[in-house]
Structure 1
């Protein structure tokens, strides 16, 4: 690859990182806490690429015209590397969704993680308690005090179909989308029946109560939620939990 091509690619890549870091698209790749590092890397790439281009222009202005005959093919091939960078500029990929949940389930993944080393904090007061999917699934499976029993909670996730059941799911990441894993809740009860025709990957905010004893090893530590209400919502700006 020619030096000029390398410099242009460096500027384009820095610009792409800066774009997704500022408009929020980076949340489809990494956790929110990584934004400063992403923006820092973008600025460094832009500065290095810009300095290199200016330096090469000054050198080329005073240099003799080189023979391009032996470089035509390599340069054209190198420019194909611009395509992935342009894709970042022009195409915002969707967040991981129902397909990822099903692949994870097919691979035999078990939800719930390890038993927490410390007791759960008491749930806050109120008629309806907002929880993340991770908090709900973890409490349902590992809270010896059964703090969820009888409490109405609200959860937000996307629809997944599994063996005729309607699931509410959310992808959880530790660092980035590459290590994402799903947490799922099976929606049951009369209010859940109309959700059977809701398209997969539709985002819902659901209120309901846990079905005691539904989180077992046989279900992959996946609890059931008796639905009280459900409404369609827009995909959150940050589609992942951490």
Structure 2
């Protein structure tokens, strides 16, 4: 690959990192705590690329001579190397979407335990209010591991995207420890009216009551929720739970 191509790739890749880190698209790939590192990495790459381009331009001017075209016939630009810019430009211009229902259905054969599910032992009391908003991961953890039954008879509010497992309609979220590459799904099976016509990857907010005893290994730690209400909501800027 020619130096010119390398330098331009470096600038474009650094610019893509800066773009996704400043407009919030980085949340589709990593945790919010990683934003400063992405900004720093992108800025360094852009700076190095600009400095290299400037250095090459200065060197080319110094080496210029009246017979500068004498060797033009021996210059063979590596056109194929420019194809490496296609994925960089794709990220720069169109950021890929966050993981969705396809990731959930592909992992239904595995036991989708988050680190919270594996390690949970103590559960604080839920707030004394009529409807308790909870992250989906906490709801699944309490439903499966809280021997005190803190969810029993309590109406909760959950938000996530729709996934389907055969005839079952699931409310799902993806839990990440570091980045999207280690995402694990947590799911809740929705029971009752209101799920007809819900399309996969549609974001919804539901209220309902857990069915005790349904969060088991046999159900892939997917509790049942008897619905009280369902309504569509916009997709959040940060689609993951941590």
TM-score normalised by L of structure 1: 0.93
| Residue 195 of structure 2 corresponds to residue 165 of structure 1 | no
Give the match for residue 226 of structure 1.
Answer: 226
Q: Which residue of 2 aligns with 1:78?
A: 81
Matches within 5 A, 1:189-228: 189=192, 193-228=193-228
Residue 116 (structure 1) aligns with: 119
Residue 214 of structure 1: SS of its match in structure 2?
coil
Cα distance in 2 for residues equivalent to 1:136 and 1:68: 69
Residue 23 of structure 1 pairs with residue 23 of structure 2: yes
Q: Are residues 1:39 and 2:39 paired?
A: yes
Q: Give the SS at the match of 2:21.
A: helix
CA separation of 1:117/1:226 partners in 2, compared to 1, >3 Å: closer, same or farther?
closer
Q: What runs of 5+ residues in structure 1 fail to find an aligned partner?
A: none
Deviations 1:3-49 (A, max 9, x none): 11111111111111000001111111111111110001011111111
- Give the whole-Å Cα distance in 2 for the aligned partners of 1:72 and 1:86: 24
Structure 1 CA distance for aligned equivalents of residues 26 and 50 of structure 2: 23
* 8 Å Cα contact 1:112/1:137 also seen in 2: no
Alignment size in residue pairs = 237
Separation of aligned partners in 1, 2:179 and 2:133: 25
Contiguous gaps of at least 5 residues in structure 2: none
Q: Are residues 27 and 71 of structure 1, via their aligned partners in 2, closer, same or farther at CA, if it must alter by over 3 Å? A: farther
> Can you list the C-alpha shifts for 1:58-110, whole angstroms capped at 9, x where unaligned?
11111134735444242x1111111111101111211111111010113x334
Note if contact 2:136-2:187 (Cα within 8 Å) is conserved in structure 1: yes
Distance 2:177 2:231 in 1: 28
1:155 paired residue among 154, 158, 163? 158
Would the aligned equivalents of 1:115 and 1:142 in 2 still touch at CA under 8 Å?
no
Distance 2:151 2:124 in 1: 12
**CA distance 1:89–1:207, shift in 2 (3 Å):** same
- How many angstroms does 1:112 deviate by? 5.6
| TM-score, normalised via structure 2 length | 0.93
Which region of structure 1 is more displaced relative to structure 2, 5-14 or 115-124?
115-124
